[in-house]
Amino acid sequence: MTARILSLIATVALAVPSMHAQVGTTNPFVGNWKLIAADKLLPDGTRVPDYGAEPHGMAIFTADGHFMIDVFRDVRTKFVSKDREKGTFEEYKEAQVSSSCIFGTYSVDTAAGKVTIHIDRGTYPNNDDTTQVRDYELKGDTLSWRVIPRPDGSIPITVVRRIAQ
């Protein structure tokens, strides 16, 4: 009887979708991605670089629904003291605004072209423990998504290219 119950539990567990499963037939996000652009769309419709002309970063999306995204400005100011605990106010401010990093879990709705991200933690603490739904577009090995609008009305746009699956 115990083996039978365990078999039934295993069968039910395999039939129930994961809490992080994507909606649709395939998950196009799975893999490692290199950042190729980090722009922002201004309220007047103009698209401009947000992290410099050649930003640096990566995105990793796992098949079991976890992600990590790191974005860094192309040119960053180094701390004069060479000690991360002895920076000036301006050095700390520059370090904060020259990067954007988050990690957590995600799910993809391929039919609607939307990705839902559950941010566990990030460099901007106001995003910790939040959920955001973002529109995405996939063309070949290039994936882009729009971040929620900022208070100034600009909309960040992240563009990555697949480097491994």
Report residues of the chain scoring pLDDT below 70.
Answer: 1-25
**pLDDT at residue 154, rounded to an integer:** 97
Total number of domains constituting the chain? 1
**pLDDT at residue 145, rounded to an integer:** 97
Average pLDDT over the chain reads 87
pLDDT digits (tens, 9 = 90+) for 63-82: 999 999 999 999 999 999 99
122 phi, psi to nearest 5 deg: -160, 175
- Residue 97 belongs to domain with CATH number: 2.40.128.490
Residue 36 lies in a domain: yes
| Total-model pTM | 0.81
User: What's the rounded Cα separation, in Å, for the pair 8 and 21?
Assistant: 22
Residue 83 lies in a domain: yes
Residue 126 lies in a domain: yes
Residue 6 lies in a domain: no
Which domain range does residue 134 map to? 19-164
Q: Which residues of 139-164 are buried (b: 16+ CB within 10 A; e: fewer)?
A: eeeebbbebeeeeeebbbbbbbebee
**pLDDT at residue 8, rounded to an integer:** 38
User: What's the rounded Cα separation, in Å, for the pair 130 and 97?
Assistant: 20
Tell me the two tokens of residue 52.
Answer: 């410099």
Residue 98 lies in a domain: yes
